[in-house]
């Protein structure tokens, strides 16, 4: 399908369009005794205040979480007042928050609601995976461990692209530097290439500082219809438009690791088509970099650089803040952290802040278009394209 065809049939244009009016976060951090309700409510209250939206105006809420338990949303949101709103809990591994946001967009676009809350909140849990309970025997006990999979993919990437271990480690150097300027990031200290390379080895060529930390945190977005912006008296200049939302899951693969990259390619290209733009028009890209090699693989798959150019794109400074397309200006999963439930919503909050021109200390100049892309175990993907107010 052509880009124009996607644009002409964009379901997000219903109800006056879909917009992010408010953003809020609780800083990502290592596990503490703080109840998840406290984490989540800080983010929700911040998002409501940022958007200038009263709690009583929120008609529905979607809560992305993986490790807290049943009915987390209602238990948390009742502290703001019991208004009778619809509350839905969403779990889809690392992409839980992204899918919660997608559901909020659907509800607004169809006119079911005009003001919907999308929240991601999590605390470090037991990490139980359905893949370990599917009743199938495996040749290796490590077959379902993501670090092992991506370490093998890293070896293949370095060999086939003629890249070096240093090229891959420089992803972490960049993202730790970005995170050091992000007050919501779990890691706020820049790292040198030597520090990244000499940190303890996890598996294969991946060292500790090339792998994302787990922890806890929260992120929230107030999603509104275009029709509601005027009705509620919101500032349209700070309302960022959602121009595309695409989800999918893995197809069969012929070579180990290809399915994940193809999943990113298809979903990202579909989202760009729906938005009606080319990949090289993106000014910002927040993507899943749980392991450093992913940023190289996925920047090529999305199309912000040519196949085989990921390492050189980084080396030229093209993915730095101020470059052609700032990749993981937030610090990414490696620097900002990966508390699972909030991660995808945190990506969207970062892009919203950037498109408003409010990312003090790490602002991408003249940013107009951004993509947030997440994958989750299983494997699933979800891509969202946002644009500055026009």
Q: Is the pLDDT of residue 6 over 60?
A: no
Structural domain contains residue 175: no
Of all residues in the chain, the percent with pLDDT exceeding 70 is: 92
Residue 143 Cα to chain centre, angstroms: 25
The whole-angstrom separation of Cα 211 and Cα 261 is: 18
| Residue 285 three-state SS | strand
Q: Helices 292-302 and 146-161: crossing angle, nearest 10°? A: 60
Question: Which are the contacts of 372, defined by CB distance < 8 A and separation ≥ 6?
Answer: 98, 286, 287, 344, 347, 348, 351, 383, 384, 386
Q: Is residue 192 included in any domain, yes or no?
A: no
Q: For the chain, what is the mean pLDDT?
A: 93
Q: Is residue 9 over pLDDT 80?
A: no
Q: Is residue 200 included in any domain, yes or no?
A: no
The per-residue pLDDT for 30 is 96
Q: Do residue 302 and residue 350 come from a single domain? A: yes
So what's the pLDDT on residue 2?
Answer: 35
Task: Show the tokens assigned to 308.
Answer: 């085989």
In a domain, residue 67? The reply is yes
**At which of 181, 206, 238 does a domain end?**
238
Identify whether residues 314 and 281 lie together within a single domain: yes
| pLDDT higher than threshold 50 for residue 8 | no
382, 279: one domain: yes
Contacts of 298 (CB under 8 A, 6+ apart): 261, 264, 268, 287, 288, 289, 373
| Together in a domain, 257 and 314 | yes
Comparing 256 with 334, which gets the higher pLDDT?
Answer: 334
Helix axis angle, 165-179 to 146-161, nearest 10°: 120
The tokens describing 174, both together, are 């960049």
Same domain, 218 and 246: no
CB-based contact 79:193 (threshold 8 Å):
no
| Number of CB atoms found within 10 A of residue 78's CB | 12
Indicate the pLDDT class of residue 1, thresholds 50, 70 and 90.
very low
For residues 247 and 368, state if they share a domain. Answer: yes
Q: Which range marks the domain in which residue 363 is found? A: 240-387
Regarding whether 103 and 13 lie in a shared domain, the answer is: yes
113 in the same domain as 232: yes
Tally of domains in the chain: 2
Q: Which of 238, 272, 305 delimits the end of a domain?
A: 238
pLDDT at position 134 is: 58
pTM reported for the whole predicted model:
0.94
Give residues with Cβ within 8 angstroms of 306, minimum separation 6.
300
Is 174 among the domain residues?
Answer: no
Confidence band for 117, pLDDT divided at 50, 70 and 90 = very high
Q: Are strands 216-225 and 326-327 parallel, antiparallel or unpaired?
A: unpaired
234 and 257 both lie in a single domain: no
Same domain flag for 221 and 335: no
Residues 218 and 308 occupy one common structural domain: no
| Residue-level pLDDT at 167 | 97
Task: Name the H helices within the chain.
Answer: 3-8, 36-51, 72-77, 96-109, 146-161, 165-179, 193-198, 226-232, 258-275, 292-302, 310-315, 332-335, 343-356
Task: Mention every residue, 6+ apart, whose C-beta is less than 8 A from residue 136.
Answer: none
What value does the CA radius of gyration of the chain take, rounded to a whole number of Å? 20
Residues 162-221: tens digit of each pLDDT: 999 999 999 999 999 999 999 999 999 999 999 999 999 999 999 999 999 989 999 999
Q: 225 with 359, same domain?
A: no
User: What CATH number is attached to the domain comprising 30?
Assistant: 3.40.47.10
- Which of the pair, 178 or 9, is modelled with greater confidence? 178
Instruction: Please report which confidence band the pLDDT of residue 136 belongs to, taking 50, 70 and 90 as the band edges.
Output: low
DSSP string, 2-26: -HHHHHHT-GGGGGG-EEEEEEEEE
Res. 135: pLDDT tops 90: no
Would you say 191 and 80 are in contact if contact means Cβ atoms under 8 Å apart? no
Report if residue 254 sits inside a domain.
yes
Beta-ladder partners of 222: 22, 117
């Amino acid at each position: 399908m052509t880009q124009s065809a996607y644009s002409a049939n964009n379901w997000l244009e219903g109800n006056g369009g879909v917009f992010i009016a408010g953003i809020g976060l609780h800083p990502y951090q290592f596990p503490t005794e703080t109840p998840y309700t406290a984490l989540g409510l800080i983010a929700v209250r911040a998002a409501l205040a940022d958007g200038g939206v009263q709690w009583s105006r929120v008609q529905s809420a979607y809560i992305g979480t993986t490790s807290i338990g049943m009915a987390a949303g209602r238990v948390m949101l009742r502290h703001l007042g019991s208004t009778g709103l619809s509350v839905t809990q969403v779990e889809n591994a690392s992409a839980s928050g992204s899918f919660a946001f997608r559901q909020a967009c659907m509800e607004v676009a169809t006119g079911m609601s005009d003001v919907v809350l999308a929240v991601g909140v999590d605390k470090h849990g037991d990490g139980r995976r359905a893949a370990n309970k599917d009743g199938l025997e495996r040749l290796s006990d490590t077959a379902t461990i993501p670090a092992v999979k991506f370490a093998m993919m890293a070896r293949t990437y370095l060999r086939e692209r003629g890249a070096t271990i240093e090229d891959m480690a420089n992803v972490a150097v960049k993202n730790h530097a970005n995170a050091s300027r992000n007050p919501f990031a779990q890691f706020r200290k820049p790292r040198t290439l030597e520090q990244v390379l000499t940190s303890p080895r996890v598996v294969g060529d991946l060292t500790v500082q090339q792998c994302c930390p787990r922890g806890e945190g929260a992120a929230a977005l107030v999603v509104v219809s275009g029709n509601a912006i005027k009705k509620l008296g919101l500032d349209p200049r700070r309302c960022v438009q959602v121009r595309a939302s695409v989800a999918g899951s893995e197809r069969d693969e012929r070579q180990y690791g290809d399915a994940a990259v193809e999943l990113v390619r298809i979903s990202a290209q579909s989202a760009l088509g729906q938005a009606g733009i080319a990949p090289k028009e993106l000014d910002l890209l927040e993507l899943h970099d749980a392991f450093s090699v992913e940023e190289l693989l996925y920047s090529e798959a999305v199309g912000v650089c040519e196949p085989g150019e990921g390492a050189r794109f980084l080396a030229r400074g093209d993915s730095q803040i101020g470059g052609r397309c700032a990749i993981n200006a937030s610090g990414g999963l490696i620097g900002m952290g990966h508390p699972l439930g909030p991660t995808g919503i945190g990506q969207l909050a970062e892009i919203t802040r950037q498109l408003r021109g409010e990312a003090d200390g790490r602002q991408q100049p003249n940013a107009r278009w951004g993509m947030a892309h997440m994958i989750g175990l299983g494997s699933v993907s979800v891509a969202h394209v946002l644009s500055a107010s026009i």
